[in-house]
Structure 1
């Protein structure tokens, strides 16, 4: 059942990782395309991205991640708030004065130029000396492992190689930050997975701040130092890949990243550190006590499918245990997925490895017990609410921008 907990205020982003100075800071950034609440694409975003960090903006289509990236780049102006690049407010500063580059999903390479000339294009426009152009292009082509293809035309390269040329062209200008808008979206699955590792390697070698937009959870988990999960123009959680997966802050984050089981109810007991949902007939769920919760408080929690143990009889040793009936079994190769309908009517998913360690391999219709440790019950916070939208100024052109 749903809780009656009020919405939380939009969270402030934690600072960059230890040892990293802030490179990009967003303070209460709003983008309103229509002057009305339903026209706000970004509704009070606060982020701090560290120098040299690989930072991902993750969320579904329409959540505001690309709009946020375009505001950092200067292609969109915020309705309200500040955007700081290395401490300097750049709201109103044109894109070519921001010392950042943007890489799109489309490669936009010049078909009539060689790989080397494509990479050198920006340097030559800036009238960089010829010898320096040659040295910088050569070093960058070695970084992206395309030095042996310097004389080829883009049409002679694979999709992944073309993407690396686009990346080299952006990096050779030595920007202080590189923004990437779903750059791997046009690649097939195997090539995309390979390029994820390549991108991370390149970022680590050049040491430049990367801000990466994606809707692919696995992609963000694979490459990122930290991830901001966006939903409806708001940031619901910022953390390392392990933090957002292992300890999702809200029900949306739990459901969007990986597979998760979300349970809700009221606390039957509340001790100093843990609380209990009493489901009757020997069934219960224990969880770390949320801040301020007492007996009778509504709570919502999540447990990941791989944290759950299946047994045919009531388990011992685990504080949480729930009885149910297996409705579906799916073989996934390294594991099997079980869909279990609990006695209370909730649907839960359980992943069990196919490595011979399972104590039971139930079939459809079998009664099973699900159990897990208290530490694997993660209390969920309410979804954040939006900050009030600023009133448009007399010179605002918000009403002229199509939704």
Structure 2
């Protein structure tokens, strides 16, 4: 198929930009600022995910982009145009929800064509656009079926096709795979990424599932308590988390506190107490003597029965051993008082297989340690016009 029949025209600058956006429900249904001053720039044709726990503000942010909520203050720009005050049906975007909301009495093709018929699109163009989008979502052979004759994943693809057929400049997706079982979710993650790549439309995806975000996204904004704590590609978010929250929320991470004993030439030595020190890279300036917190991922750590030559090593006692097939996971109480988790692959490469109660040494290379920064504080929004009433 010719993908340009579904792709939006090229545009200069970000597809979507949020400037110091605040959403405060005080005096309405609650007493808290749900979104507390965020800035985001989402590029044209990007698969961008808003990731965070329940209540962090990600869905409210998506609804403000869609026009279902108005910000208390700040700007929402779609392709350069300020959308604050512009009704949802006047914005060149579509939204896909967790609920498919398909018409049970209509065929797949008629469900997809529903919006085009309301816009009075000519029959020949309507048929061509429906056929094209059904091929894109690989449902062309299901065009005459009713929704009840489809699987959950197929129904979700119909809902996606119904949004794509309108040729929006951006597509917003609010946890659309939440109702599917795990295996089907994993399959649909790859399908969604394939479809997004083919049509070239900007996707903004809301999820609380870290694996989902890592699988599909070009970039991820990790949200916490109404703020964005990090925006980066998946590998950077995982390997170089900016804050303790990001390190703990994305996968499993060991958080270690200490004092920066010395710092020079991009390298620091952290004193953990009990006479144990580790070497860390300093990507940003830190004064000697500062209290710091660092993270290291469990799979980056090697276990040995004696001290190694690694610049970063800690002694500990094995408290728990869990066999998980592809790996064995260890919980270790270190001599410094910190609890650490270690993942060892069961591929025959591990030098030791310690049991509960045994003393071990944990070691890793310096570049696998990452110093964390404090979580951002909410900004006080600049004075502006009186807030609009949320619809």
Please indicate, yes or no, whether the TM-score normalized by the shorter chain is above 0.5. yes
2:363 pairs, out of 371, 395, 399, with 371
1:315 has 2:305 as partner: no
1:385 has 2:391 as partner: no
Over residues 167-197 of structure 1, what are the superposed CA-to-partner deviations in whole Å (9 max), with x where a residue is unaligned? 0000000000000000000000000000000
2:268 is matched with 275
CA 1:320–1:225 in 2, change beyond 3 Å: closer, same or farther?
A: same
Over residues 2-53 of structure 1, what are the superposed CA-to-partner deviations in whole Å (9 max), with x where a residue is unaligned? xxxxxxxxxxxxxxxxx98410000000000106996100011100000000
Q: Pairwise CA RMSD of aligned residues?
A: 1.8
Alpha-carbon separation, structure 2, partners of 1:106 and 1:279: 50
Instruction: Report the alpha carbon displacement of residue 274 of structure 1 after superposing the two structures with TM.
Output: 1.0
1:361 has 2:353 as partner: yes
1:12 is matched with none
Alpha-carbon separation, structure 2, partners of 1:254 and 1:336: 21
Residues paired across the two proteins, number: 380
2:108 is matched with 115
SS of corresponding position for 1:61:
coil
Instruction: Report the alpha carbon displacement of residue 327 of structure 1 after superposing the two structures with TM.
Output: 0.5
Q: Do the aligned partners of 2:71 and 2:387 also contact (CA within 8 Å) in 1?
A: no
2:51 is matched with 58
Alpha-carbon separation, structure 1, partners of 2:287 and 2:386: 49
SS of corresponding position for 1:267:
strand
2:319 is matched with 327
1:348 pairs, out of 340, 351, 363, with 340
Instruction: Report the alpha carbon displacement of residue 99 of structure 1 after superposing the two structures with TM.
Output: 0.7
Instruction: Report the alpha carbon displacement of residue 295 of structure 1 after superposing the two structures with TM.
Output: 1.6
Alignment of 1:222-237 (within 5 A): 222-237=215-230
2:240 is matched with 247
Alignment of 1:252-271 (within 5 A): 252-271=245-264
Q: Do the aligned partners of 1:283 and 1:320 also contact (CA within 8 Å) in 2?
A: no
CA 1:281–1:244 in 2, change beyond 3 Å: closer, same or farther?
A: same
Over residues 278-336 of structure 1, what are the superposed CA-to-partner deviations in whole Å (9 max), with x where a residue is unaligned? 346663211112533122111111000011010001111x1100000001111111111
1:22 is matched with 14
CA 1:395–1:74 in 2, change beyond 3 Å: closer, same or farther?
A: closer
Instruction: Report the alpha carbon displacement of residue 349 of structure 1 after superposing the two structures with TM.
Output: 0.3
Q: Do the aligned partners of 1:20 and 1:52 also contact (CA within 8 Å) in 2?
A: no
Alpha-carbon separation, structure 2, partners of 1:254 and 1:344: 20
Alpha-carbon separation, structure 1, partners of 2:18 and 2:27: 21
Alpha-carbon separation, structure 1, partners of 2:148 and 2:198: 27
Alpha-carbon separation, structure 2, partners of 1:391 and 1:309: 53
SS of corresponding position for 1:22:
coil
Alpha-carbon separation, structure 2, partners of 1:393 and 1:136: 42
Greater Cα shift, 33-42 or 113-122: 33-42
1:72 has 2:72 as partner: no
Over residues 209-256 of structure 1, what are the superposed CA-to-partner deviations in whole Å (9 max), with x where a residue is unaligned? 000000000000000000000000000000000000000000000000
Alignment of 1:134-145 (within 5 A): 134-145=127-138
2:151 is matched with 158
Q: Do the aligned partners of 2:85 and 2:388 also contact (CA within 8 Å) in 1?
A: no
Over residues 113-148 of structure 1, what are the superposed CA-to-partner deviations in whole Å (9 max), with x where a residue is unaligned? 000000000111100000111111011111111111
CA 1:275–1:335 in 2, change beyond 3 Å: closer, same or farther?
A: same
SS of corresponding position for 2:180:
coil
Q: Do the aligned partners of 1:35 and 1:392 also contact (CA within 8 Å) in 2?
A: no
TM-score, with normalisation over the residues of structure 1?
Answer: 0.91
Alpha-carbon separation, structure 1, partners of 2:182 and 2:115: 31
Greater Cα shift, 31-40 or 86-95: 31-40
Alpha-carbon separation, structure 2, partners of 1:179 and 1:295: 46
SS of corresponding position for 2:220:
strand
1:190 is matched with 183
Greater RCO, 1 or 2 (C-alpha within 8 Å, sep 6+): 1
Alpha-carbon separation, structure 1, partners of 2:311 and 2:212: 34
